[in-house]
Amino acid sequence: MSEADILSILREFLWGAALMAAPLLSIALIAGLAIGLLQALTSIQALTLTFVPKLAAMLVVFFLSAGFMARIVLTLFETQVLPVIAAH
C-alpha cells in the first residue's frame, strides 16, 4: 500500500466526516441565528435561552440523521477498509 493510497483513503474519510457533521452544524447555525434574532427582538440575554433550544434541536436532528450517518460509515468501510484488509 503506497502513500497515495493512504492519502486517498484519508481524503474519503474526511469527506465522510464532513457529510456526517453537515446536518448537525447546519441546524446549530439555523437555531443560533433564530435564537439570536429572538434575543435581539425581546432584549432577553439569558445564557440558558441560547444553549438549551440549540441542544434540543441538535439532538432531534442527530436522531433523525443517525441512519444517514450509519450508511456513510458502512459505505466507507465496505469500499475503503475491506478491500485493503482483503488484499493483505
For the record, the C-alpha cell of 15 comes out as 469527506
In a domain, 87, yes or no: no
* Band (21; pLDDT cuts 50, 70, 90): very high
Q: Please state, in angstroms and as integers, the Cα–Cα distance from residue 72 to each residue in 40, 69, 79, 80, following that order.
A: 39, 5, 11, 12
Closest by Cα among 8, 24, 13 to 65: 24
In a domain, 88, yes or no: no
Please give the single-letter amino acid code of residue 6. I
Q: Identify the pLDDT of residue 2.
A: 84
Q: Is this model's pTM higher than 0.85 or not?
A: no
Please give the single-letter amino acid code of residue 13. F
Q: How far is CA 66 from the centre of its chain?
A: 10
* Band (87; pLDDT cuts 50, 70, 90): confident
In a domain, 20, yes or no: yes
Domain total in the chain: 1
Which residue range(s) make up the domain with 62?
3-82
